[in-house]
Structure 1
Amino acid sequence: MNFADMRKTNALKLIIIILIMSAVLVSCTEEEYRASRLYKSLTSYEQKSETVTLKNKKYNKIDLSKKAVLELSKGMIYNVDFSEAVNVRDASTASILNSEIISKTLAMKVTEKDTVMNVISTDIASYGDYVISVTDNAVFTGSGLKVNNLGEGGAAIKISSGASMVLNKSNVKANGAGVESDSLVSISSSEMTVESLRFYEGATVTLDDSRFYTNHGIMLLDNANEKLIHVSLNLKKAKLTADDGALLSMIDTKASVKIEDTTLNQGSSNIMLLKNSEATVTLCNSDAEGGVMTDESSSLNLLIKNGSAFKGYINKGNRTKTVTVQIEENSVWEVTSDSYVRGVILKDANFENIKSNGFTIYYDPKSSTNAWLDKKTVNLPDGGRLAPLR
């Protein structure tokens, strides 16, 4: 089924690609679809407690409860009538393979403790607020998926309230967020073309060997649940782009970020932006180019290690002293504009791991981190200076 041919005719009518007479792909409005033979032939499938295997079945909804176990292969689920196309709950387990799911609303809802959804080599499309929602300690695993939110602003995947997701070798597209989560997320060998990725306090996130093409990058955000106070992100062997704004934004949050074997490049724009946040960011064997900007209510510890290179500025022009930079041996900061930091920690007493390009790094002489500088001005290689901010 070709999702690229799916489109809206207007705000009230939904165009769905449907299989007519098991052979011909036809585009039609929702009204025409409801009048079709296929629509009239579809029924809902409800299963409780049993263990069932199905193949080559067509439904308009699947509902599993009371520890039901279902394996569906080569299935087709077309939903325009229900709040979700697939609903798995109450400690049930569903395995869906080589299937197609198209829903006017939410495509998959997975909820409650001990509920598990395994999906392999399946195309999933929706016009709803989300394509997939996993909540309340449920577990979702997906491999070889094509996930597409065709709505004007809908998101792709929501993982929340203690749920978890492992996604591998999949492709995700949405005009809204690719993933929204305050829980456990692991994504590998995948590609997303989305507005952003949004992770809230409580989330533990690993993004490995994947590509993320976004408008607004990765956003680490506050959680309304006051019991959740920290978000963790591990970005490894990844490609991340942002057309508008910073690659990594932290807003009203506490975060730890590890960037490993990754290249981040925003040129003269910001790679990191902090607002009212506390964060530790570690570059390991990575290259990062762009600016780091924080406001006065933020605090950032930036560790550059294991052969990493940071080419950019810190708080250019705003004189905010909220960033402490630590540069380990065999790593370097190449400065591209006058910068303002709270503290500087260097393993190389000869300052050779700072390439100043003639710019000045201003440090806070009142910070105990800089006691070793004794409030002095140091001439750096390439004509720049490390100077106390008066």
Structure 2
Amino acid sequence: MDRTSAAPHRMDPAGGCPHAVNARLLAHGPVAPVVLPGEVQGMAVLGHEALKEFLAHPEVAKDARHFTALREGRIAPGWPLATFATVRGMTTADGADHRRLRALVSGAFTVRQVERLRPRVRELTDSLLDDLERAAARDGGVADLRGHVAMPLPMGVIGELLGVDAEHRDRLHHLSNQVVATDIGPERALAANRELVAVLGAVAAARAERPGDDLTSALIAARDEGGDRLTQEELIGTLMLMVIAGHETTLNLITNAVRALCAHRDQLDLVVRGAATWSDVVEETLRWDAPVSYFPFRYPVRDLTVGGTVIPRGTPVLAGYSAAGRDPAAHGPDADRFDVTRPGRPGAVRHLSLGHGAHYCLGAPLARLESTIALERLFTRFPGLDLAAPEADLAPHAGFVGNSVRALPVRVSPGV
């Protein structure tokens, strides 16, 4: 059955909690027509099985030359989603180009290489928990966990991997927030992109002048070798991807996991008693409250029928990770229940929140390591930690790409 006649859903540039909207859209089918900011027509793939098929489909591209409206000049300058389409890097490359760009950085993110970072991640986590406790002591026992732990942990780790000096990290976080936001105007979007490119250019220049044992220095060496290994534009695009994806996803994942455990103390108790693991918490959070809600973009290279809906060639398509995570067709009638002991179906993919297929998240092992260590250290040190504001009062993340809250005030009381 072709469901393309359904009225399109207008994506809210301000974002907000996606789950009620996802449930409504999923009730009508696994694929939905949407209107993106700027009145750009698109589609969203929401159902688990449909998204799994779409992400790995050989006739679905990432290169924006397949984006019909952009190619035909129908996208206005300063479009807030432009960076997702036009940045030069592995997220917008296909085939041999994608494999070339991915190979340049993949060695730093293997399970073995990431495991070597465990002592440093633990050390940095403990230092940040000291900061959290000091901040809470200054403010009646309450501090922002997102600002004091969930953000600086992954930003610190990716900063060290890339050789980014500490003085740049707060600015890079701010600019990456602007770049992934969908609720800002053209002037701010263009300015944020220009400044982010400039800051990353300064980072690259510093590493070119003083090479070190870091990923940026290795990428610069690949650029300077000439040939077709890496262009300057691809270097900056790769650094942009590493900074944004390297901390924004983990930032939201840690934040959402803490929210989930504070709201479901019975699930936290299962972990404390050894009936479940911190890894189980991370995987269930990825499914139940995906850190990335709707990720732009993929483009069919011909008209495709996915989940009973025709997606026309050249349409910009959002990957609906938060919707797929709560799809009852894949996860059962209790898909909207947070359950760290939830069994997976034999042979089935537990969730798609870190992608699927050739573009599966390169940093997945690092995100999992950082999140499990952060949660274990946090709740071991502060077993009574709880939210200091009702969930309903937490301001949602700006935009519909990321899925989390802007701040997470928690009440901190040291364990005994």
**TM-score over 0.5 for the pair:** no
Give 1 or 2 for the bigger CA radius of gyration: 1
Q: Whose strand fraction is larger, Structure 1's or Structure 2's?
A: 1
TM-score normalized by the length of structure 1: 0.18
TM-score normalized by the length of structure 2: 0.17
